Structure 1
Amino acid sequence: MTLETVVVILLGGFCGGFVTGLAGFGLSLFALSWWLQVMPPVQAVPAALVMSVVSGLQGVYLVRTSVDWPRLLRFLLPALLGIPLGLMLLDVIDSRSLKLVIAGFLILYGGFFAFRRELPNLTRPTPVIDGGIGFVSGFLGAVAGLSGALPTMWSAMRRWGKSERRALLQPFNVAILGISAAILAVTGDIGRQSLITMALALPVTIIATQIGILVFKRVSDTAFQRLVIVLMFISGLGLMLRELMMA
């Protein structure tokens, strides 16, 4: 492993960890934008998945007292049903096309609201839609690794406080990604190079996550909502460019 590869792994771990600590999502998207420059997806993706769980657990601990369990379970339980369906259809579904569609939604949604004075403000309860988004997110997590995209867009439409918003997104993502990581471990898809990447990135990712959490504590609820929307736009652009460049 060259010095350049080590530096890129550290930069990816730092960027991904910082964004996850700040916003509660995004490690895979931001870390992979670096890691895929120096290693193939078969090595980078499992490493990013495991590091997402490690980084996300720090955020879960931060908002542990703010978790609304009935709300979280409305999303999470249907997602658990969507995962096996996604795994069954993994060889049938074109995951690249799915990623491009989701990237398009992130770009359109984030771009539309990022530059508007008024932010979205949905107030009425939507338990059926919540469950549907959870189910589709579990499916998307299994076939494309994008379990957090729809819940992030949906939660950004509500004027929840930053801790309230994060208390839904982070435990949801950690649960789905943790299950996915466990499946990879059982099937033997986490190879030696992925383990080396994790070992190198772990310390800097943990530190960067803590820095992001410190910034998170200082931003207002409105600033956090707008930050999430802007990061959705950036994540969508990054995802689309990555898929197009890998074509």
Structure 2
Amino acid sequence: MTKRCPDCGRHLPHSDFGRNKTLPDGLSFYCLACNRARNNDWYRRQRRSLGKEVRDLSWVPQGFRWCPTRQQAVAHADYIRNAALPSGFGTRCKACHNRLSKDAYWLRRYGLTKADVEQLRADQGNVCGICGTPDPEHLDHDHSTGRTRLLLCQRCNHGLGLFRDEPYLLRVAALYIEGHRQEHANDVVRQAAIEAEAASRPGEPPVGSQRRPGARGTSTRSTGRNSGSRRREQAGEVDG
């Protein structure tokens, strides 16, 4: 089924008309395209009557929307959405929205403008204030006073937070690492000394052994007799 739009004179399917329960057929008097054009024209005439001019955006292609911040047409896919507005779109594109939101974050969280943060970045050479990693993204601050310090990389910023910004714990952690590294170094030196001593005395028994090189099957006691002589003496006593 179709309906004729009195503005454009075309016979269009019911899906091209809006809803209007006050009319017998339940459809709007004009088609959606003509109704939109008439509303826009009325809006412009009203604004002119107030001494204000409305920008003509009729040239914007289908599927695009004008971004007043960027001053250019942006595809609908790159525009923010807002179901509370009649158009279903927000007031700016996603890129502008994200940038302005980030600027507002610095001001709301730290009381600094984006320019202040960029100046801080330039002052510290665009490197982390602790380890020197380029392009730090986290603004460090004192959690007790809220006072900002320097821009840090993610690892350093998380490290300070995990140690609860406590200098004593950070010093103990440093001593802990240095102590274990020194202990490992000492073990390496001792092992190297043992290996060097063993290499300088080839053929000698292992450390702790009481055997002499070349001695086999006998053991010398304080009496000066070995086990072999004692066995022979015992055998002579039995024979006699």
TM-score (norm 2): 0.18
Larger Rg: 2
More helix by share: 1
Q: Which has the higher contact order (CA 8 A, sep 6+)?
A: 1
TM-score (norm 1): 0.17
